[in-house]
A and B are shown apart, each in its own frame.
Chain A
């Protein structure tokens, strides 16, 4: 059954790749066909994953007649979990794309739609293929297709730059992933993932595999300091693709890490987990700090993805530390926290990207300083964006809150698992820094929503905004519902995670999350607590009822309209607080990390004492760029300049080189 659904899914996406190219005459037909097929394909992915959860994992093999062996598709609970995220987000993004693609009717729509289908297909393959060679092919397909999607609007130079940065970084990552796989393959003499379980590696080799997997997948996930492509590539892609890239594509890297750290390598030394935790906390704090500084809505969201990958890795890193300390229950809790946050982030980040896409669709600007007042022009989009913003700020009773609670909870037990005063202090600080991240995220999304949607429009673009078409609203609405559903009743997802994690040795989840329908307990030998979201919802609802009763205790009040008081002059949009201004206190307090460069220039031509027109430019520089990438870039350029004289352009020289190389090879061949 699962195999049939899987094949139908492949068929639907293949049709989705071919048909748009054939129907290039009418963009409308292309749009409906391609994205309709994508919706169906994504539903098939969901069906496939549900089927696996109901009936258990499946494996099927196809002899492909290629020299790299036969294709093995294996869908276990871990794959099914990621497939579910892909299916849900993909369905919503594809419905959204039906409306959003109208923007691209004159901009190579057929190509974009075909690539879009191919992109989803490649992610589905990455999550299901269980053989090294085909996995790497699928992985590279995913990269290349998304490269073309990032570069789709190549008329803008910034997009092309972003695309090349992206392909460069991820190719570098693939080198590491390939190395990791090669070491495993050479050890067990097989390309099948299943054979890697418990591969007998020396501890040095295991460490090398660990670092290769961490660096390789970390590049794709956007872990700081390997993140530099992410904040440029995600905003450059069309918005529904950005949603998938931030929502799912970077999570496929986490899928790879789970495979390596949970399955292939097994329980490792504690410092592996500590390395992951270190990278995770840097990613989350710096990611959100940079996000808060952005005024480009999609760039802000992209940086916030870096932050959330950090939070996911906090759960995974903590789980690894617990595993090596032989605390399987706590390890299960921590991994559940990480994976739950992964699913939640997939939902709310794609929701936010779709929301940003809607803003872009109707105002044609991403600069939040030019927006404002959209809540009145686009009421539904505003509600959906607000849902996403509240969820990502971990506010109850939305899904982000539950997974952050679980993450806090697992970090709370971390000091017990480590020994020595410094590691213990470090793990205590993790909680404080996660608190800092949460507060900065709330700050960031108050700014993003408040400046974009509230008060008066700041430009003509924003004034003329209209609500987006129904298909786009449906896509966002679906994801908003998911945010509420997973927040109000997380038990279902927690049960699912129990099933996903129970297949791994080193984790013990059977005692976790068992309680009544209204509460999921994490009963750990040392302590207990429950996640009872319905109780929290009940409190808030009762509180709201009480507030309404108190408000109307003396009868309904009379509401009189009165303009905002601005000291006697008529208020206008230029008096509103700007996004830059809103972030200013944090920018100033954290200037050591942000390296702020603010300059105020006054035009003194009209008044010699103080300028009449003042202009302020705000700049920050990114530490990682300055410390890591610029020296590397300089070094490469230096070396290239040294090598350049070899390229003389003279044919005789090149023949000379060939001769030289041949001689050297001959000598080496004889000597060995």
Chain B
């Protein structure tokens, strides 16, 4: 039974992920005094991509062709693991480490694919993506650790439960700020990366997938949207687990909070500039210090 629920969760998250991406784009547009693309624009884009044929460089190998599938599969896997507290899994296999390394699998293959076409931009994007990951990963571990320590478990459903049971504290607020920065990093947004740029000097994720077109790019963009939604869900269920008292069911609160985070992400992206790549270590060390403070304050 829990398998069925899990599949339903994956389908729902996969279907809603482009909508969340659309909300972010639209809000960003409005904040920048534009009309912004419609909420459903990402769906239209994906439909367009999946109708297209492919242009493939003769330099590439099967790695390049397989990477989008693997990336999409790991995004779906992450969606299956995401803590929503909507059903009981029975078996506690949903460890936080599985989620982290599931995403690492997708990243690994995409970074390999970036080297495969033999263009400079691809390698540059792959190199930078792996570098940012080197900075993000330890801080991510620390920040998630604050919640895991409260739950005394690394199983995500138990972590989310423990987070919901604990009240607002200084430690929780510090951890929430730290994870917000990590959400920005994981979703590849300003100030770490810019999802809207194709300028060779600044792109990271976009540079990595530059050689892709057509359906492959559709898979990658959709996968990225799912990954973004999963990260936001982690933020909501681990770091903003408190629901104001009211008669609304928790699910509604969760959806509302996801939308709030989407708006906040758009706000951050509008109000800051992209940082230089070598300023990022400073930002992430500061984030790491926040999580350490959160652990001390616990």
A interface residues with partner B (beta carbon < 8 Å): 375-376, 382, 386, 390, 393-396, 401, 404-405, 408-409, 412, 415, 421, 425, 428-429, 431-436, 438-440, 442-443, 446, 449-451, 453-456, 519, 526-532, 535-536, 539-540, 542-544, 546-548, 550-551, 553-554, 557-566, 571, 573, 575-577, 581-586, 588-589
3 A-B pairs with the lowest CB-CB distances in the bound complex, closest first:
A577-B123, A543-B73, A450-B115
Q: A415-B149, A551-B69 are in contact. Are A432 and B141 (CB under 8 A)?
A: yes
User: CA–CA, A561 to B53, complex, Å?
Assistant: 11
User: Residue B164 at the A interface, CB < 8 A?
Assistant: no
Which of A393, A429, A529, A558 is within 8 Å of B92, CB to CB?
Answer: A529
For B216, the chain A residues whose CB sits under 8 A away are 551
> Hey, what's the 0/1 contact readout for B136-170 against A, CB within 8 Å counting as 1?
11111110010011011111001000000000000
Counting chain B CB atoms within 10 Å of each CB, the highest count among A439, A528, A529, A550 belongs to A439
Q: Which of B25-84 contact A (CB under 8 A)?
A: 50-59, 61-63, 68-70, 72-77, 80-81
User: CA–CA, A278 to B81, complex, Å?
Assistant: 33
How many B residues have CB within 8 A of the partner chain?
88
Chain B residue nearest in CB terms to A458: B118
For A382, the chain B residues whose CB sits under 8 A away are 61
Contact A528 B92 (CB under 8 A): yes
For B50, the chain A residues whose CB sits under 8 A away are 550-551, 553-554
Contact B215 A450 (CB under 8 A): no
Contact A557 B57 (CB under 8 A): no
Contact B119 A436 (CB under 8 A): no
Contact B115 A529 (CB under 8 A): no
Q: A439-B137, A527-B158, A586-B134 are in contact. Are A576 and B56 (CB under 8 A)?
A: no
User: CA–CA, A404 to B145, complex, Å?
Assistant: 16
For A442, the chain B residues whose CB sits under 8 A away are 104, 107-108, 130, 133
User: CA–CA, A440 to B130, complex, Å?
Assistant: 8
For A529, the chain B residues whose CB sits under 8 A away are 92-93, 95, 153-155
Q: A375-B61, A550-B72 are in contact. Are A530 and B92 (CB under 8 A)?
A: yes
User: CA–CA, A437 to B138, complex, Å?
Assistant: 9
Q: Say how far B77's CB is from chain A's closest CB, in angstroms.
A: 4
For B151, the chain A residues whose CB sits under 8 A away are 527
User: Residue B131 at the A interface, CB < 8 A?
Assistant: yes
User: Residue B116 at the A interface, CB < 8 A?
Assistant: yes
Q: A425-B295, A562-B55, A585-B127 are in contact. Are A528 and B73 (CB under 8 A)?
A: no
Counting chain A CB atoms within 10 Å of each CB, the highest count among B97, B116, B278 belongs to B97
For A435, the chain B residues whose CB sits under 8 A away are 100, 137-138, 140-141
For A431, the chain B residues whose CB sits under 8 A away are 141-142, 145
User: Residue B206 at the A interface, CB < 8 A?
Assistant: no
For A526, the chain B residues whose CB sits under 8 A away are 152
For A405, the chain B residues whose CB sits under 8 A away are 95, 97-98, 101
Contact A554 B51 (CB under 8 A): yes
Contact A540 B120 (CB under 8 A): no
For B105, the chain A residues whose CB sits under 8 A away are 390, 395-396, 540
User: CA–CA, A586 to B126, complex, Å?
Assistant: 13
Contact B112 A450 (CB under 8 A): yes
For A528, the chain B residues whose CB sits under 8 A away are 92, 153, 155
User: Residue B245 at the A interface, CB < 8 A?
Assistant: no
For B59, the chain A residues whose CB sits under 8 A away are 455-456, 563-564, 571
Q: Which of B195-215 contact A (CB under 8 A)?
A: 211, 214-215
User: Residue B260 at the A interface, CB < 8 A?
Assistant: no
User: CA–CA, A558 to B80, complex, Å?
Assistant: 32
User: CA–CA, A96 to B275, complex, Å?
Assistant: 50
Contact B52 A432 (CB under 8 A): no
For B68, the chain A residues whose CB sits under 8 A away are 547, 551
Contact A539 B95 (CB under 8 A): no
Chain B residue nearest in CB terms to A583: B127
Chain A residue nearest in CB terms to B115: A450
Q: A438-B137, A546-B73, A547-B72 are in contact. Are A566 and B119 (CB under 8 A)?
A: yes
Contact A535 B91 (CB under 8 A): yes
8 A-B pairs besides A454-B63, A562-B56 with CB distance below 8 A are A425-B296, A446-B130, A453-B61, A519-B93, A543-B75, A561-B56, A564-B57, A576-B120
Q: Say how far A40's CB is from chain B's closest CB, in angstroms.
A: 37
Contact B133 A439 (CB under 8 A): yes
For A566, the chain B residues whose CB sits under 8 A away are 119-120
Chain A residue nearest in CB terms to B79: A543
What are 27 A-B contacts with C-beta separation under 8 Å? A376-B61, A386-B63, A396-B101, A405-B95, A405-B97, A432-B145, A435-B100, A446-B130, A454-B61, A519-B93, A528-B155, A536-B98, A540-B73, A540-B74, A540-B102, A542-B76, A543-B73, A544-B70, A544-B73, A546-B76, A550-B222, A551-B216, A559-B56, A560-B54, A562-B56, A571-B118, A586-B131
Chain A residue nearest in CB terms to B154: A412
Q: Say how far A186's CB is from chain B's closest CB, in angstroms.
A: 46
Chain A residue nearest in CB terms to B62: A375
User: CA–CA, A380 to B59, complex, Å?
Assistant: 18
Contact A433 B55 (CB under 8 A): no
Counting chain B CB atoms within 10 Å of each CB, the highest count among A432, A519, A557, A575 belongs to A432
Q: A412-B148, A553-B50, A589-B278 are in contact. Are A544 and B126 (CB under 8 A)?
A: no
Contact A589 B123 (CB under 8 A): no
Counting chain A CB atoms within 10 Å of each CB, the highest count among B59, B130, B281 belongs to B130
For A450, the chain B residues whose CB sits under 8 A away are 111-112, 114-116, 126
User: CA–CA, A438 to B135, complex, Å?
Assistant: 11
For B8, the chain A residues whose CB sits under 8 A away are none
Contact A395 B104 (CB under 8 A): yes
Q: A396-B98, A550-B219 are in contact. Are A456 and B137 (CB under 8 A)?
A: no
User: Residue B124 at the A interface, CB < 8 A?
Assistant: yes
User: CA–CA, A530 to B95, complex, Å?
Assistant: 8
For A548, the chain B residues whose CB sits under 8 A away are 69
User: CA–CA, A190 to B127, complex, Å?
Assistant: 58
Q: Say how far A12's CB is from chain B's closest CB, in angstroms.
A: 41
Contact B292 A425 (CB under 8 A): yes
User: Residue B117 at the A interface, CB < 8 A?
Assistant: yes
Chain A residue nearest in CB terms to B123: A577
Counting chain B CB atoms within 10 Å of each CB, the highest count among A429, A440, A543, A582 belongs to A543
User: CA–CA, A575 to B105, complex, Å?
Assistant: 27
Q: Say how far A289's CB is from chain B's closest CB, in angstroms.
A: 10
Contact B92 A564 (CB under 8 A): no
For B18, the chain A residues whose CB sits under 8 A away are none
Chain B residue nearest in CB terms to A407: B97
Chain A residue nearest in CB terms to B95: A529
For A576, the chain B residues whose CB sits under 8 A away are 115, 118-120, 123
Contact A440 B120 (CB under 8 A): no
User: Residue B122 at the A interface, CB < 8 A?
Assistant: yes
User: Residue B128 at the A interface, CB < 8 A?
Assistant: yes
User: CA–CA, A3 to B76, complex, Å?
Assistant: 53
Q: A396-B102, A564-B57 are in contact. Are A446 and B111 (CB under 8 A)?
A: yes
User: CA–CA, A457 to B119, complex, Å?
Assistant: 13
User: CA–CA, A396 to B75, complex, Å?
Assistant: 13
Contact A581 B101 (CB under 8 A): no
Contact A455 B117 (CB under 8 A): yes
For B7, the chain A residues whose CB sits under 8 A away are 542
Chain A residue nearest in CB terms to B71: A547
User: CA–CA, A582 to B125, complex, Å?
Assistant: 9
Contact A539 B77 (CB under 8 A): yes
For B70, the chain A residues whose CB sits under 8 A away are 544, 547
User: CA–CA, A431 to B80, complex, Å?
Assistant: 25
User: CA–CA, A542 to B78, complex, Å?
Assistant: 12
For B139, the chain A residues whose CB sits under 8 A away are 432
Contact B123 A394 (CB under 8 A): no
Contact B97 A562 (CB under 8 A): no
Contact B63 A530 (CB under 8 A): no
User: Residue B277 at the A interface, CB < 8 A?
Assistant: yes
For B92, the chain A residues whose CB sits under 8 A away are 528-530
Q: Say how far A163's CB is from chain B's closest CB, in angstroms.
A: 34
Contact B112 A449 (CB under 8 A): yes
For A573, the chain B residues whose CB sits under 8 A away are 118
Contact A547 B69 (CB under 8 A): yes
Chain A residue nearest in CB terms to B69: A547
